[in-house]
Amino acid sequence: MALPLTPDEARSIAEAFRAAEHSVKCYMDGHYNQEEHKISRAEYDSLYEFCQTLLCLSSDATTAAVGLSLDALDAPADELKGVIEEANQKIKTLQKISSVINCVSALVYLASSIIAKNPGAIVTSITTLRNKIKS
């Protein structure tokens, strides 16, 4: 049986979500301006909404993750933080806005699953996020 996440592990997971949110903001700033419009206003607005959601969920995920036992994962804190950090790095290198939006939406799904304390959804969302990172 897996041990519950400690407060420090939960905090590090929340920090990984916040770092991903910051990367999305940097992507938005680097790819949208009035002259070039590398991304549309609608795409910018969509990413902005995801950023706001990630920021809110990162704080909630800290609280929810404490005491969460994930038997399906070998090292829950390491796996959660690792996949979030992988997504963060991928966001920094993506060129297609649709790929960024897909990756960020998968991050939101993961954070929401943690808050819901739904181990099955967490495992599914990790798989979904990994697939988005690979594509």
Query: How much is the pLDDT for 87?
Result: 92
Q: How far apart are CA 77 and CA 80, in angstroms?
A: 5
Q: What's the whole-number mean pLDDT along residues 52-72?
A: 69
pLDDT band at 107; cut points 50, 70, 90: very high
Give the start-end residues of each E strand in 31-112. Answer: none
Structure tokens at 103: 């990756």
The residues near 125 (Cβ < 8 Å, ≥ 6 apart) are 106, 109, 110, 112, 113
CA distances from 44 to 66, 69, 113, 131 (A): 33, 36, 25, 23
pLDDT at 3 over 50: no
Where do the domains of the chain lie? Answer: 7-134
The Cβ of residue 41 has, within 10 Å, a number of other Cβ atoms equal to 9
Q: What pLDDT digit, counting tens, does each position of 71-82 carry?
A: 666 677 788 888
**Tokens at 64, concatenated:** 């929810």
pLDDT of residue 130: 92
Contact indicator for 85, 112 with CB cutoff of 8 Å: no
Show the tokens assigned to 107. Answer: 């991050």
Quick check: 1 pLDDT over 50? Answer: no
Contact 71, 2 (CB under 8 A): yes
